[in-house]
Each structure stands twice: as structure tokens, then as C-alpha cells.
Chain A
Amino acid sequence: MRALMKTLAASTAVAVLSALPAFAAGGEAAHGGEHAKGGLPQMNAETFPSQIFWLVVTFAVLYFVISRIAAPRISTVIEERRDRVADDLDRAAEFKAQAEAAIKAYEKAVADARAKARAVSDETRRKAKAEADRRRADMDAKLADELAAAEARIASRKAAVLSGLKALAAEAATAAVERLTAINVAAGEAEAAVDAALKR
């Protein structure tokens, strides 16, 4: 590539330089009429060889400086930066992936913990409810027993009171009949009469 450019530069420089006298002559012929002192300095063909010579020299130097020194340096700096930026971006993407993995793990842990907590709380609630149910059943049974006992006690008390009352009534009736009629009523009759009266 460099060889090609060198040949190119050299050959075109030679071509321009060799074409120079012809051009200068042509220029002079074409603009001979207006070639007076007051004309455009640009048309003064006497300056052409010097202009072209120094253009070729300076341009060749600049081409050398740019193609060998400046352009490679600039491209190196730009490439280095591009690589560095690409590396940084890759690393950023890597870190991002790591962060995402960490977040996923964290979320999983949170979900697991929540599920476990829910299971524990469900179990606890179930146990508590069972215990409560058992206690209530016990209490119910105990209360029912006590109620039954109380009712039995009341019933017997009532029977006793009733029978006491009956005897008292029969006695009172016997006494009253005896006083009124002087008839001695047999104890059994009086009680039968009281029973009959109570039934009415």
C-alpha cells in the first residue's frame, strides 16, 4: 500500500512538473494580452515553477507527516478509547447481569421466607383453634353435668317439699274435721282426700 502511494506520489509529481512548461507557455499565450503589470498576479506565469515546486515539496512533507506520524497516532488513540469504552460497557453489562442474579436470588429468598412464614402461621392458627375447640367441648360437658345435677337436686327437693306439704295438709284437714264433726278421720283417708283435692 505504501509502495503504491509512493509510486503514485512520485509519478504524479513528475507528471505535474513535466506538464508545467507546457501549461506555463499555454497560460502565457492565452493571457498574453492582459499580461500587463496591472493584471491579476495569479496570471503571472513567471511565478508558476516556484509555486508548483514548493507546493510539491511542502505537500510531500505534509503527506509524510500525516501518513507516517499523525494519522497512526490519532487512530491509535481513537481505537484505544473505543476498545476501552467497549470493555467498560462489557463490564457494565456483566455487573448488571450479576446484580440481576443477586436480585433474583434475593427475591427467591424473600418468597421462600414468606411461604415458610405463612405455613408456620397456618399451623399455629390450626393448633390454637383445635385447642380452643377442645376446651369449649370440655366446658360444655362440665356445664351439662352440673346442670343435670342441679336439676336432679331441685327435683328431689321439690318432691320432698311437696310430700311434707301433703302430710301437713292431711294433718290440718284431720284436725279441722275432728274439731268440726268430732269424727276421727283415719290418717289414710285424709291423705287420699288431700291428694284428690290437689289433683282437682
Chain B
Amino acid sequence: MVSGPSDQGNGQGNDPHAPLDALGKRIDAMENRPSVVAPKVKARSAEDSSAFGRAFKLSTEFVAAVAIGGGMGYLGDRVFGSGPVLFLVFFVLGVGAGFLNVWRAAQLINARAAELAKEASADQGLDFTCDDDDGDDDGRPKGRAGRP
């Protein structure tokens, strides 16, 4: 803040501004760090970023959709007595939905991993303001970006 030309030239080497500038930097740093506990949360998350993807179990996403599709078809066949027609149709649709699920989960994992990597590289703590980190200021995350 004070950048006055210190032209006193009185030979007493230490600039009285130096400690104040350092203090100013520390105040700015503290103001930009919203929480005392945030960095620890971040460190924990960054460490787990690779495990996050594994925890997701993409196979579950797929199988769940196929099961729901097949189940819907089976019930439809039971109600309408239409043999295996609806079952087959909905099974195929379930496979489609399964791929959709897997694709969306992969999107989410990628977004999350990117976020975690960014947080890990940035030296500041987690941002607890309402910033959604994707720069469009809509308060929404990018995890759900990109629908088909």
C-alpha cells in the first residue's frame, strides 16, 4: 500500500516499510483464506481423489439401469400378457440407460478429479463462498454439465 520512495539515504539500512509490507501481505493472505480448517479437508480430499473414481463402481451404474429396464419390461409383459416383447425392448433401453449412467458418472468423476487436482495445486484452502468454480456464476457445479 505504501510504496513511497524511501529516499532518506541516512545509511540506516533497514526500511521501516519492510515489516509493514510483510504485515500487509499476511493480512491479505488471511483475508483470502476463509477457514482455518479448510486446508486439512482439502489435503484429505486430494489424497482420496483417485480413490473417488474407484469408489464409484461404474458396473453398479450399468447393472442398475439394465435391471430396472428389464424389470419394467417384465412387469409390462405380465400386465399386458405380451410375451417377452416388452422385456426385450426395455432390456435394450436399459442397456442404453446403463451406458448413459456410466457416461454421466465418468463425467462426474472427471470433474471431481479435476477440481481436486486444482484445489491441491492451489495453495489456498477450499473456497467456502458460493463460487461454483466453473466460472459461469450460476451457482451450479460443472459436474452435471454436458447432457446428451
Contact = CB atoms under 8 A, between A and B. Distances in A.
Direct contact of A and B (CB under 8 A): yes
Interface of A: 78, 81-82, 85-86, 89, 92-93, 96, 99-100, 103-104, 106-107, 110-111
Contacts, number: 36
A92 B27 contact: yes
Interface of A is mostly: helix
A86 B17 CA distance: 24
Given A107-B8, A110-B8, A111-B8, A89 B36 contact: no
Contacts of A104: 2, 4
B23 A92 contact: yes
28 contacts: A78-B35, A81-B36, A82-B35, A85-B30, A85-B36, A89-B27, A89-B30, A92-B23, A92-B27, A93-B24, A93-B27, A96-B20, A96-B23, A96-B24, A96-B27, A99-B20, A100-B1, A100-B17, A100-B20, A103-B2, A103-B16, A103-B20, A104-B2, A104-B4, A106-B16, A107-B4, A107-B8, A110-B10
Interface of B is mostly: loop
B31 interface: yes
Nearest to A92: B27
B68 to A, nearest CB: 13
B8 A100 contact: no
Interface string B30-42: 1100111000000
Contacts of B2: 100, 103-104
B102 to A, nearest CB: 25
Contact of A89 (B6, B17, B31): B31
B1 to A, nearest CB: 7
Most buried by B among A78, A81, A96, A106: A96
A103 B10 contact: no
A99 B20 CA distance: 8
Most buried by A among B1, B4, B27: B27
Given A89-B31, A110-B8, 8 more contacts: A86-B31, A93-B24, A93-B27, A96-B27, A100-B1, A104-B2, A107-B6, A110-B10
